[in-house]
Structure 1
Amino acid sequence: MPAMFHSCSEFTHWDRDLRAVCGNFSTALSDRHRLFIGSVHGQDVGGLELAYIRTNAGLISRRRTQGDGDDDRHCFLILQSSGYERIRHQDRVLELGPGDLALVDSARAFEIEPQGLVQNISVHLSRQEVRQHFGENPLFGKLARNSVATHTIRALIRSLGDVELSDGYGGERDGPALEQALIGLAAAGLDARTESQPGFACVGHDDLYGLATRLIETSLHETALGPDYLARHLNVSVRQLYRLFEQRQESISRYIQQRRLERIAQDLRAHDLRHESITQIAFKWGFIDAAHFSRAFKRYFQHAPRDFRHQVA
């Protein structure tokens, strides 16, 4: 049964297990949950490695590497079993829900932000083999949800989780054969995507709200981010945006500030960002006035930024 962890020490154990199974990641607790839930275990099927991850952590992140080390020899083919999460890579954001699949390059910086409790299965594919198959195309993207290739991958990955397939199951040829099949299917799933989107002015309110919040997520570092910025990039009126957020009892400016503060809190929790000053982190996420940031942070989290970081440490 997956373990339910109640303390920071248990979170540390989960973090350690994640690193052992998946490589060198940085993790942070979520500010939205008082109880941490997490489990990680690996599986080997004829040499093909899989990781089963369940968590409500706030952030799982990876820095860019040279792409030639033992820790970054994989691409991760991620099947979202349940829950919702965002994966950020440079200026791209993937949103995964139950049944979605994504390919992520371990040698590139990316962040995974679970939206509550999530479960996923990560298949570790040889980065070298994926690169040979994909050529110069990016090793990152969400697969077409309803393609034949994606349906086949789902069924194949889920079948590998059968209880009969214990660790070490299969012959020497099984792992490489499965890997080549998954790489080919992943390439087909990515090729089947449709890149065209309807004009922003033609989408429904729920779709427009989703587009607006996704644009906010990818633009938090922009100091100009605000109602005018969103309206210009979404090709809608500022009045329409105000009305859209008011219908959800939200303010655009307050929503943006809260998301910035939550991102800053995650960075203040991250062990590998201890060398960055609080002001550097605040400015990275779009604040331009240190005093204003400090007041807003204390009002939202009931602790000054320095005290918050000290308590986490």
Structure 2
Amino acid sequence: MSATTARPACQDLTSSVAASFDHWRHLVAQSFVPLLAETDDAGTFRGRMRSRVLDRLCIVEVSATSHSVHRTPALLAQSDQRYFKLNLQLEGTGLLIQDNREAVLRPGDLAIYDTNRPYTLAFEEQARMMVVMFPHDSLSLPPDYVGQLSAVRLSAGSGLTGIVGPFIAQLAQNLEALSGPSGSRLATNALDLVSTMLHSELAMAPDRMKPQAVLATSVREYIEANLADPDLSPASIAAAHFISTRHLHNVFHESGSTVASWIRSKRLEHIRRDLRDPLHSGTSVGAVAARWGFLDAAHFSRTFREAFGQSPTDWRRSARDQA
């Protein structure tokens, strides 16, 4: 399974209570990316975790007493998959540290951080939070652009945070009900809201905006809008933005991706959702693929299997069985 299309590591739906702090260390490592958990109160520690996977988005509700988690350079070397995490503080206070910035998070506050760089989250007392984890390429914003907001407190009730925060809190209260096509649509909506919020936060801080990042965002949005065009290519994208194809490739190279892999990943995600959706149950696999620019059925089938570990027909059948 490729890094660009891999699903987050947490399970489809779990609810676990830590029997000990050692057990908590295991739960944390299994539910997110590899993390080092520490506490000064192992004997009295209590923790509970509930998680749900919706397509490529992982939602985890964490409730625990005093402890900290660390994403160390050594742990970074254990995984090449790149995720963002969005933290919504529900109860208590948390401290997020990344990129020499610190954010003190109180109930209702949001903060984003990158699992591809070291960070620390610390809680001095009982706390409850929602963590939403998703791959870098789930957003139209380039990762370096989003990284300018890492460990920045997005205060409760301020701007779009006042919309996104309550939406995520509602997801936390209804994890058991989130499944099938409706859950998939909610995951897409959640990522759209997060992306819009980040756009807004960066637009309100012009000193954070760089021309190259603005171009990268524009290119990604253009690709999203034209995925169904089978003739979409680096040449057509570059021409639409009045830049050379070499410049276009450099834009993607800086974020650790390529133009072709970005287009392929986005097309596959749309196809994957459509194959799961009952509204498209009467449409053949080939027709669904063609709708999103894959005209060669054999090439599409190989590409889908490489990305998701099963054929598109098997994916559709398994999704139908789970509905």
When normalised by structure 1's length, the TM-score is: 0.52
User: Which one of 198, 208, 211 corresponds to residue 186 of structure 1?
Assistant: 198
For 1:68 and 1:121, how far apart are their aligned partners in 2?
26
How far apart, CA to CA, are the structure 2 residues paired with 1:163 and 1:18? 21
For 1:176 and 1:103, the matched residues in 2 are separated by: 18
CA deviation after TM superposition for structure 1 residue 176, in Å: 2.9
Match of 1:306 in 2: none
Return the match for 1:154 from 152, 165, 175. 165
The residue aligned with 2:57 is: 48
Unpaired stretches in structure 2, ≥5 consecutive residues: 1-14, 208-323
Is the counterpart of residue 102 in structure 1 residue 114 in structure 2?
A: no
Residue number among 170, 173, 188 corresponding to 1:176 in the alignment:
188
Give how far 1:129 is off.
Answer: 3.3
SS at the partner of 1:49?
Answer: strand
Of 44, 55, 64 in structure 2, the residue corresponding to residue 35 of structure 1 is 44
CA distance in 1, matches of 2:118, 2:21: 23
CA pair 129-45 structure 1, distance change in 2 beyond 3 A: closer
Counterpart in 2 of 1:138?
148
Residue 86 of structure 1 deviates from its aligned partner by: 0.9
Distance 1:11 1:173, change over 3 A: same
Give the aligned residue type for 2:110: L
Is 2:91 aligned against 1:79?
Answer: no
Equivalent residues of 1:64, 1:109 under 8 A apart: yes
Q: Residues 67 and 73 of structure 1 are in contact (CA less than 8 Å); yes or no, is this contact kept in structure 2?
A: no
CA contact (8 A) 1:53 1:120 kept: yes
List per-residue Cα deviations over 1:51-105 (Å, max 9, x = no partner): 1111124321002479898564210000000011111124211111111110011
Q: What is the DSSP-based 3-state SS (H/G/I as helix, E as strand, rest coil) of the residue aligned with 1:142?
A: coil
The one-letter amino acid paired with 2:177 is: S
Count of residue correspondences: 190
Deviation at 1:106, TM superposition (A): 0.6
SS in 2 for 1:148: coil
**Distance in 1, Cα, partners of 2:104 & 2:188:** 30
1:22 to 21, 24, 32: 32
Matches within 5 A, 1:258-297: none
Whole-angstrom distance in 2 between the partners of 1:184 and 1:112: 25
The amino acid of 1:115's aligned partner reads E
Q: CA deviation at 1:169?
A: 3.9
Q: Distance in 2 between matches of 1:4 and 1:66?
A: 22
- Cα distance, 1:109–1:99 mapped onto 2, change above 3 Å: same
Q: Is the 8 A contact 2:108 2:157 kept in 1?
A: no
3-state secondary structure, aligned to 1:76 = strand
TM-superposed deviation, 1:187 = 3.5
Cα deviation code 1:210-234 (max 9, x no counterpart):
xxxxxxxxxxxxxxxxxxxxxxxxx
Instruction: Give, as a single letter, the amino acid of the residue that structure 1 aligns with 2:36.
Output: S
Amino acid at match of 2:168: I
**Could you tell me how far apart the structure 2 residues matched to 1:151 and 1:90 are?**
25
Cα RMSD for the two superposed structures: 3.2
Q: SS of the residue aligned with 2:46? A: strand
Deviates more, 1:72-81 or 1:122-131: 122-131
% of aligned pairs identical?
17
